[in-house]
Structure 1
Amino acid sequence: MSPVERNTSAAGDEPTSVVRRISDLLAAFGPTDTTLGVNELTRRTGIPKATVSRLVKEMEGVGFLERSGVKVGLGLRLFELGERASRRRSVREVALPFLADLREATRQTVHLAILDGAEVVYVEILPGRDAPWLPSGVGGRLPAHATGVGKALLAGSPPAAFEAVVAAGLSRVGPRTITAPGALVRQLRRIASTGIAYEHEESAPGVACVASAVRVDDGPPVAAVSASGWIGKVDIRRVGPAVHTTALSITRALTEVGDRSTGR
């Protein structure tokens, strides 16, 4: 099989690599999708059905997909590889006790997320009591501009990160999502000054969130932590200092881990 194939349905006559097609197939599984059939994978990816069938069979063979009747779901091998992603793993392992303490103190849903291009990826979520429905899920993604963690991460990132978000389009996710670049810039400046990002119904109706970034050695943020709850049931500004303190505690813990690993 050639390492490069043609995908005229999705990209005209430009060659599309097998790796890109495998990535598209995996990305076709949404946060609520347990299994999908070949027809649905074909529809979502635009890859020819015969190619989808062949790739699905090969991905089953290496454990990337697992068969469930006539459909397939994401395989255990992907979980194993994900656990080896060192940055995500180390940050999550160090942060988890602090996240648990934050949930206990606030009774809200606590998130840990990282920035990946124009999106945030959720590394850990600890649901709070009577938590509202949230669009986030572990391993899931949301547009960075529409989330508290995303804004906290962008506020401490190089200008190129903001430019990537604007280039991707400030799509509306919740009733009050920021869709104007100028308004987003103004918020990010305030967040950079205070260290705390607020979100009110920007990612979902009825949801309020406060977030703060985790930084190490004055570099760009490596992650962000947040607490989310129902608007009207939580005074998110009173929760803000606790979230900020948690982020600082995780920063100190990560710094200590780094010092031990380098012998400093």
Structure 2
Amino acid sequence: MPSVPSVPPARRPPIRTAPGRSATSRALSALDAFDDGHRTLTLSAIARRAGLPVATAHRLVGELCGARLLHRRPDGRYEVGARVWQLGLLAPPTSLREAALPHLQDLVITTGRTVHLAVLEGPRALIVERLASSRTQSTRHSPGGYLPLHCTAVGKVLLAHAPPALCAEALRAPARYTDWTVTDPAVIRRQLAAIRAAGFAQTSQEHRRGTWSAAMPVTGPSGVVAALSVLAPLTAPRRADALSPLAAAAAALSATVLDLDLDGMTGEPAS
């Protein structure tokens, strides 16, 4: 079977400017110039990645530094400021992460595998937390990163319970990541129906060669708010033994989040 070109990890694309954009939109474009691969940037790099004139970028960056949303380092480069972190702590995924950490730690110890907790954010899965032990499968994905919905276990669980419109958007043109990625929307829809019936999802080498993953939903008062998964190499023995502790962790976390305000992270059941 012919090899498939590797697809880079999904990252939030920088917002590009357009004539007549508001000051707020331009400021957000400057902040969006930063991502996991660009943690520090020069002023000219911010302007280029944000699609801003250098003079506009200079003014906006100065204002963002004054508000502690950006920080100017001694070497003249800029990085995200501490105030962004402080504001981020108020977001629902942070509350979910704090509630989930003990359960994720127990799951890592019990299974010896990498675990992911992810939530739905548009047509992608946002990684809220990732934990691993010294003998688990390595992963490129860190908290704050994104995973595709159609070919990862956490993504399939979230997609199975997503609103119909979002599901349609995610399946409009599914990307191929490996030779085993399922890209036929009709086949994926049948998988999603099976996931809703079974209560869990499994994938094998669909997003990354040599790996297997399983995921289960985390439910709140209004429905599915997150997906919890374990990741293992295909060569690992007794992979299916992770399903029982995964189910216990998902159930325990679901009980824990009942008192959290996570309504903004809940999708309507798919039809």
Which interval holds the TM-score relative to the shorter structure? 0.7 to 0.9
> Measured at CA, do residues 207 and 65 of structure 1 come closer, stay the same or move farther in structure 2, by a change above 3 Å?
farther
Task: Provide, for residues 68-118 of structure 1, a one-character-per-residue CA deviation record: whole Å limited to 9, x for no partner.
Answer: 222111111111101111x22332222211111111001111111110111
Matched ranges for 1:1-264 at <5 A: 10=16, 13=19, 15-68=20-73, 69-85=75-91, 87-167=92-172, 169-217=173-221, 219-233=222-236, 235-255=238-258, 257=259
Q: Kindly provide the amino acid, as one letter, of the partner of residue 146 in structure 1.
A: C
Deviation at 1:10, TM superposition (A): 4.3
Higher helix share: 1
Deviation at 1:246, TM superposition (A): 1.2
Q: Kindly provide the amino acid, as one letter, of the partner of residue 77 in structure 2.
A: K
> Measured at CA, do residues 28 and 179 of structure 1 come closer, stay the same or move farther in structure 2, by a change above 3 Å?
farther
- Distance of 1:178 and 1:51 partners within structure 2: 44
Deviation at 1:175, TM superposition (A): 4.8
Deviation at 1:174, TM superposition (A): 4.6
Task: Provide, for residues 15-69 of structure 1, a one-character-per-residue CA deviation record: whole Å limited to 9, x for no partner.
Answer: 3233333333323322233311223223323222222222122111111111122
Deviation at 1:206, TM superposition (A): 2.4
- Distance of 1:146 and 1:27 partners within structure 2: 26
RMSD: 2.4
Q: Kindly provide the amino acid, as one letter, of the partner of residue 222 in structure 1.
A: V
| Corresponding residue number in structure 1 for 2:4 | none
State the TM-score, normalized to the length of structure 1: 0.83
- Distance of 1:78 and 1:12 partners within structure 2: 25
Q: Kindly provide the amino acid, as one letter, of the partner of residue 228 in structure 1.
A: L
Deviation at 1:164, TM superposition (A): 2.8
Q: Kindly provide the amino acid, as one letter, of the partner of residue 90 in structure 2.
A: R
- Distance of 2:85 and 2:70 partners within structure 1: 11
4+ residue runs over 6 A deviation: none
Structure 1: runs of 5+ lacking an equivalent:
1-8, 259-264
Task: Provide, for residues 140-170 of structure 1, a one-character-per-residue CA deviation record: whole Å limited to 9, x for no partner.
Answer: 2222223221111111222122123234x42
Q: Kindly provide the amino acid, as one letter, of the partner of residue 55 in structure 1.
A: L
Q: Kindly provide the amino acid, as one letter, of the partner of residue 251 in structure 2.
A: L
| Corresponding residue number in structure 2 for 1:4 | none
Q: Kindly provide the amino acid, as one letter, of the partner of residue 188 in structure 1.
A: L
Verify the 8 A CA contact 1:152 1:211 in the aligned structure 2: yes
Verify the 8 A CA contact 1:132 1:229 in the aligned structure 2: yes
State the TM-score, normalized to the length of structure 2: 0.81
Verify the 8 A CA contact 2:195 2:201 in the aligned structure 1: yes
Structure 2: runs of 5+ lacking an equivalent:
1-14, 261-271
- Distance of 1:44 and 1:215 partners within structure 2: 38
Of structures 1 and 2, the one scoring higher in RCO (CA 8 A, sep 6+) is 2
Verify the 8 A CA contact 1:195 1:244 in the aligned structure 2: no
